[in-house]
Every structure is written in structure tokens, then in C-alpha cells.
Amino acid sequence: MLDHEDRRQLEELKAQVQCERAFTCVHTALSDLCQGKYYPELEILECLETPQPACKFAHPFGCTQVCSCALRKFIARNFDRWSVNSTTVLRQRQG
């Protein structure tokens, strides 16, 4: 559940990001997220799927792609429920 401060931060980030997907990640209660794995020690969000159409925030990085979207990275840091050591990646925090 999003509290007032979370909503404020999401709105601030939305104002900074030019989103081709019309912020579906936020407007669907954080349930329509592209899959990613966040590495907090590096502040890198690895893309685990290729969104269609191609996402302007996905950039090649070695053998993978990383996400540069400030909004998606904020969501990964604060709301996604998964571990970089886990083989299972969950799209959102339940409940």
C-alpha cells in the first residue's frame, strides 16, 4: 500500500520522466511492471524482459540491458519484493 510520502515521490518522478507507456506502472497500482532485478550496491536495475515496443530506458550493458528510468528504479528500490540472490523474480509486492 502506498502512503502519502510514496505518492508524493512518485508524482515528482513522473514530472521528470517522459514515459512512452503513459506510466502504466503507476496507474495499475504497481502491478504492470516490466521484470527487473535491482542491485542496490550498484544502483543498477537489470532488465529481465524486452518490452514491446522497445523501451527508450533500456540500454545495453555487457551481455544484458539495464534500465535508466528513475521512476522504475524508485519502484524497484521501494516496492518490488525480490532478492538479487534469488532465482525467482516477483513483479510486485503483494498486499
- Kindly state the cell numbers that stand for 46: 537489470
Rounded CA separation 77/75 (Å): 5
**pTM metric for this prediction:** 0.72
Structure confidence at residue 80 (pLDDT): 66
Structure confidence at residue 41 (pLDDT): 85
User: pLDDT by residue (tens digit) across 32-79?
Assistant: 778 888 888 888 999 887 766 778 888 998 888 999 999 888 888 887
Structure confidence at residue 51 (pLDDT): 64
